[in-house]
Structure 1
Amino acid sequence: MKEIITEINGISIYKNFVENLPYNPKLKPLLSGKRKAGILSEVIFWKQVRAGKFHNIDFDRQRIIGNYIVDFYVKNLGLVIEIDGWSHDTKEIYDEVRQKYLESLGLKVFRIKDFDVKNNLAIVMKDLEDFIIKHYKY
């Protein structure tokens, strides 16, 4: 039987832990620099989700998966959250390859625009709730 990890709007959300994710230790030195860079949209989002503030769900910031560092990761759901800034406008193919790789590991990817985090945060958080409900309610 699947384990319920939280409820969102009265809907049970079930655990979807993905085991044995690949990890490239050579990327570890990059983590603190990325965290210290303080990208505004990431800091704003982190303040909304850190320490279980978002439906008591545990988020990791700057997590290594394979040869990538993802913006946010929810272990109990196998969920990657990526915030796309202006630099992603020229990296569509890279982002597509990266997303297909992450999905091939059994992960789900929720993408958010940097602009929306800064200007429509309530909508972003509602969209994240809806995404989690859609993919993890069973």
Structure 2
Amino acid sequence: MADDNLHRDRARELRRAQTDAEKKLWSRLRGGRLHGVRFQRQFPIGPFFADFCAPKEFLVIELDGSQHMDMLNRDMRRTRYLEGLGYRVVRFWDNDALGSTAEVIEKIGNLLKCPHPPRSERGGTSIPGRGAFRTSR
């Protein structure tokens, strides 16, 4: 019970301290605005908080600022963990979310249109690279 309260409090704290990129993307994702899919912000998954998660679709959206350039190994471990639970993970740079919002939303929308295998067949389904325009790390 105490862990649940800590997770809830941490998620609230993260939602209150959202970045400009998170605010802009959330304005396009919230309330089922994208294909009727319900996203949640700072969604707890194991020891992590996904920036945005569509739990029913098993899709995680992560926004990365420049500090993530020094955290690529940590981000890869996090992605592998989420993939192991059956999530698809896609990462965008904050600059893409701010300056190319329509393209980011289009890419997310295209992912939501793609069939996702049953949970027992999931794993390793993340989108390679980061950002709407980048195809490798």
Q: Could you state the TM-score of these two structures normalised by the residue count of structure 1?
A: 0.77
Note the residue ranges of structure 1 that are not aligned, 5 or more in a row. 1-23
Structure with the bigger RCO (C-alpha within 8 Å, sep 6+) is 1
Residue 83 of structure 2 corresponds to which residue in structure 1?
103
Equivalent of 1:131 in 105, 111, 123: 111
| Amino acid corresponding to residue 134 of structure 1 in structure 2 | C
Residue 73 of structure 1 corresponds to which residue in structure 2?
53
SS in 1 for 2:9: helix
User: Displacement of 1:137 after TM fit?
Assistant: 8.8
| Amino acid corresponding to residue 87 of structure 1 in structure 2 | Q
| Amino acid corresponding to residue 28 of structure 1 in structure 2 | R
Could you tell me the percent identity over the aligned residues? 30
RMSD: 1.7
SS in 1 for 2:18: coil
CA distance in 1, matches of 2:117, 2:26: 24
Equivalent of 1:92 in 72, 77, 86: 72
* Count of paired positions: 115
- Alpha-carbon displacement from aligned partner over 1:14-59 (angstroms, at most 9, x marks no partner): xxxxxxxxxx634332112111113100010000011111111100
Q: Could you state the TM-score of these two structures normalised by the residue count of structure 2?
A: 0.77
Judging by fraction of residues, say which structure has more helix: 2
